[in-house]
Amino acid sequence: MVRGLLGQGGKVLVHCFGGCGRSGMAVLRLMIEAGEDGATALTRLQELRPCAVETEAQRVWAFHAAR
């Protein structure tokens, strides 16, 4: 559903309880799956939400989409 809305130019709000690690991980994964370079996507995301993707395990999971 999220990919469909984004593909149509829509906007989606993603938020977990804290709004950082899990939300950031999901958003980063969507950015990478949409074709954005992982490192660039992470930098861009953390410029807007510095706490996004809090752990190495979260980063690895999100970057796995690029494979």
Residue-wise pLDDT tens digits, 7-35: 888 888 888 888 888 999 889 998 898 88
* Predicted TM-score (pTM) of this structure: 0.80
Residue-wise pLDDT tens digits, 46-58: 999 999 999 999 8
The pLDDT-based confidence of 38 (bands split at 50, 70, 90) is very high
The pLDDT-based confidence of 67 (bands split at 50, 70, 90) is low
Torsion, Cα of 39, 63, 21, 13 (10° steps): 80
pLDDT of residue 62: 85
- Given 3-state DSSP classes, what are the helix, strand and coil percentages for the chain, each rounded to the nearest 5? 60, 0, 40
